[in-house]
Structure 1
């Protein structure tokens, strides 16, 4: 059976919609803790459990940690970054950790908000950097930032991650999604913190989101319960046309180690606005399962999209068709 995960958000955070999603085959749900604390999600988690109970199922509830992902600091409103204009990162401007600023050099390309915004570093002065915007967009607080081709050392867990884990067992969380796993040390640090926080039985889903994570996969694959091919940030680490090959490479490694893996990111992206997916999207889901994926997940499609229950219907039915084909191939039919 393929696990089907949605993502909690304003469009589905009510018992009626959640129950419909579970009835259509959703087996679990992701709670993104990039912008909220687990303590503040208690009512939402209660709704998830009640909706699942009414649908006759027991949900898997995953929390997506902050981890070592680089992010700009928190600020109010939206900063418009227009193509052809300059902007300052750091200090009283757009808040950015000094470690990130210190790693920047003139000529570096900067990706913001999962690559939606592209800029180039023109000058670095102490704790600030001046950037030239090459691809425009609106930036809000705590969005991702990446220096193309560079890794900035950060701890595996943030202080907020550690605080969130204190409530995980009490709230019925079943697993954590650990972002930007780089090596075995990251997962050992996570496992140790789970022990300290009183939730040692939580499943660890290791997100592969950088080439460092890809290259070191065999080093840490046995230290997690499931691998996640997280194509959003992973796609920012290379030219996009290389991403399918890297996805295949990760899937092959997981099969060789008999390790379950999940595929996520833009699986039904068009359905944030459309009631029907594209042919390319259903083919993507089908092929991910044929490659051995044991889980598939949607994010914005259910969190902010217009048709959360329809998204789950297409995700479930397409995954089931692929699973049926796998079984037919095994029996030689």
Structure 2
């Protein structure tokens, strides 16, 4: 049985050498996240160079995912240092101009527009939700009185969030634009956009890419309740989705997070768009060689829900056991996928999908593969769209995705069960390209049944939708 789930490893100080990245690849990671909230150009340039070198050496498709910072809101420093608060402590939140050195606890936030929507009773979270407050009074235009609902330390320059509030900040910051320029120059494959709130946000990033002559796939990170309210609109614009459970878990009541994750994944599956589940998946493995039982179940359930990718953040970026984390995540995937295939969990039905001939053909190919117990599905897809629909059918078989377009190949690498491959370009006939791939690939032996899908362009046309599904048997004389 082939293994299907895709593992994303975040690179950082703990995995910045060639040897470390190579071991991550050997452990099972095929997609590498560069977090532009941390690190500089020199680090990213080094990482991309290492990944491209490993692609050449291994023959694998390794995808570079650039993760833009977005409008992360942080407090400023007025010289008070860390403030200790207890449950019930009142604290002022205001701009630098509002600060008075009178001994009252004060948290500085120099973003005046964020104060305009705050009202009595609104929640405020500091330091990734470690300290929680509630607004008790609007003192002045840019001065709010808060009361702590738990105890802890409030240092300056920490992230601050306003759960449920639609942030008025531009989705693409000046830092993002500068980072995007670096990413385009270095040749990243996919770009993740942080704090997306509506479909238009994706459009602003696409427009920014135009000046570089590129249109790379965009992953929308869902971290705001506003994004959940506009999920259909965002799905229409984005190429894929990341369930970013860190900030999303601050916005929602934590008890609501599992259901939100399931709804997002189901919506992505219905459209054949890859979906990533991220944040705290194996967090205990940052400092321990073993995961907890809850983490193990969490990873398994994300796969059962229908995730295409599961992502490691601190675990591989700064953790003490990065390779063990990837290997254990892969082992969890092996076991839960075995269960899925045994129990026939997965769906190749056409209910809920868009009624287009190529979509029905993709579902037909998946069902044909199941009925014939085919070795694999080989899909020649110029744009990768049919490959993604095939992946959403969740066939037991691996899907070999043939495309001459490097961007397409690197993006299909995010879809569950997909193995990107390069077709023989000297032949125009897409079906023949797929057949030759099977004949030449050492992955197939005499007697193997393979389901082929391809688009056969009409004379005078170079682009077409998938319009052919074929059952193909590799014969002895074809073994090369």
Task: Name the structure 1 match of 2:153.
Answer: 137
In 1, are the aligned partners of 2:221 and 2:244 still within 8 Å (CA)?
A: yes
Task: Name the structure 2 match of 1:169.
Answer: 184
Query: Is residue 305 of structure 2 the alignment partner of residue 291 of structure 1?
Result: yes
- Identify which range, 121-130 or 18-27, moves more after superposition: 121-130
Partner secondary structure for residue 30 of structure 1: strand
| Closer, same or farther: CA 246–27 of 1 in aligned 2, 3 Å | same
Task: State the Cα distance separating 1:75 from its structure 2 match.
Answer: 9.1
In 1, are the aligned partners of 2:10 and 2:312 still within 8 Å (CA)?
A: yes
Report the number of matched residues. Answer: 331
The Cα offsets for residues 191-218 of structure 1, whole Å up to 9 and x where unpaired, read as 1111123331x22111112222112111
In 1, are the aligned partners of 2:277 and 2:311 still within 8 Å (CA)?
A: yes
Partner secondary structure for residue 27 of structure 1: strand
Query: Is residue 196 of structure 2 the alignment partner of residue 191 of structure 1?
Result: no
Question: Aligned equivalents of 1:168 and 1:280: distance in 2?
Answer: 36
Question: Aligned equivalents of 1:213 and 1:234: distance in 2?
Answer: 10
Task: Name the structure 2 match of 1:153.
Answer: 168
| Closer, same or farther: CA 66–275 of 1 in aligned 2, 3 Å | same
Question: Aligned equivalents of 1:107 and 1:224: distance in 2?
Answer: 34
| Closer, same or farther: CA 183–269 of 1 in aligned 2, 3 Å | same
In 1, are the aligned partners of 2:10 and 2:33 still within 8 Å (CA)?
A: yes
Question: Aligned equivalents of 1:267 and 1:248: distance in 2?
Answer: 15
Question: Aligned equivalents of 2:81 and 2:38: distance in 1?
Answer: 15
In 2, are the aligned partners of 1:85 and 1:133 still within 8 Å (CA)?
A: yes
Task: Name the structure 2 match of 1:314.
Answer: 328
Query: Is residue 256 of structure 2 the alignment partner of residue 242 of structure 1?
Result: yes
Partner secondary structure for residue 154 of structure 1: coil
In 1, are the aligned partners of 2:9 and 2:316 still within 8 Å (CA)?
A: yes
The one of 216, 225, 242 aligned to 2:230 = 216
* Stretches of structure 1 lacking an aligned partner (at least 5 in a row): none
Task: State the Cα distance separating 1:16 from its structure 2 match.
Answer: 2.2
Question: Aligned equivalents of 1:300 and 1:223: distance in 2?
Answer: 29
- Identify which range, 113-122 or 32-41, moves more after superposition: 32-41
More relative contact order, 1 or 2 (CA 8 Å, 6+ apart): 1
Task: Name the structure 2 match of 1:57.
Answer: 60
In 1, are the aligned partners of 2:114 and 2:168 still within 8 Å (CA)?
A: no
Task: State the Cα distance separating 1:96 from its structure 2 match.
Answer: 3.1
| Closer, same or farther: CA 38–186 of 1 in aligned 2, 3 Å | farther
| Closer, same or farther: CA 159–27 of 1 in aligned 2, 3 Å | same
The one of 66, 79, 91 aligned to 2:82 = 79
Question: Aligned equivalents of 2:48 and 2:75: distance in 1?
Answer: 28
* Stretches of structure 2 lacking an aligned partner (at least 5 in a row): 100-106, 347-369, 372-395, 397-480
Task: Name the structure 2 match of 1:18.
Answer: 21
Partner secondary structure for residue 320 of structure 2: coil
Question: Aligned equivalents of 2:319 and 2:147: distance in 1?
Answer: 32
| Closer, same or farther: CA 48–82 of 1 in aligned 2, 3 Å | farther
| Closer, same or farther: CA 276–140 of 1 in aligned 2, 3 Å | farther
TM-score (normalizing by structure 1): 0.88
The Cα offsets for residues 86-139 of structure 1, whole Å up to 9 and x where unpaired, read as 354421763431111333334432112221221233554343444443332354
The Cα offsets for residues 55-94 of structure 1, whole Å up to 9 and x where unpaired, read as 5534211121122443435899973443336354421763
- Identify which range, 59-68 or 232-241, moves more after superposition: 59-68
Partner secondary structure for residue 194 of structure 1: helix
Partner secondary structure for residue 150 of structure 1: coil
In 2, are the aligned partners of 1:22 and 1:57 still within 8 Å (CA)?
A: no
Task: State the Cα distance separating 1:311 from its structure 2 match.
Answer: 0.6
Question: Aligned equivalents of 2:80 and 2:189: distance in 1?
Answer: 34
Partner secondary structure for residue 318 of structure 1: helix
